[in-house]
Amino acid sequence: MGGVSVIKNARNLKNAELFVDWVMSKEAQEISWKEAQSHHILTNVNATSSPYALKSNELNLINYDFNKFGASDVRSGLIDRWVREVKLNK
């Protein structure tokens, strides 16, 4: 999986939006594996995935509660804890 976003107050907002639209298109998502041999899990359901890409429905993923852990206060607390216990713990 990859990510793409538009930065708030971007100087070239229209071009940024056009780029994101293109990245999300069927054609662009297929280029990544047909031309560059990059085997991502695609987000466009109309795009054909690489035969070598992982099958998202076969992955054993963590059951992550985005509503709970994505909330600003919980998220900030988790980041603070990570910095204290992991990053700064040498």
Find the domain containing 69 and state its range: 62-89
Tokens for 72, please give them: 């600003």
Tokens for 18, please give them: 């056009």
Whether residues 19 and 54 share a domain: the answer is: yes
Predicted pLDDT of residue 1: 55
Q: Single out the residue of 63, 54, 73, 69 nearest to residue 1, CA to CA.
A: 54
Give the number of other Cβ atoms within 10 Å of residue 33's Cβ: 19
Whether residues 1 and 42 share a domain: the answer is: yes
Q: Measure the CA–CA gap between 16 and 18, rounded to whole angstroms.
A: 5
Whether residues 76 and 38 share a domain: the answer is: no
Whether residues 52 and 73 share a domain: the answer is: no
Question: pTM (2 decimals)?
Answer: 0.60
Instruction: List pLDDT tens digits, range 1-29.
Output: 578 999 999 999 999 999 999 999 999 99
Q: Measure the CA–CA gap between 54 and 65, rounded to whole angstroms.
A: 23
What value does the CA radius of gyration of the chain take, rounded to a whole number of Å?
18
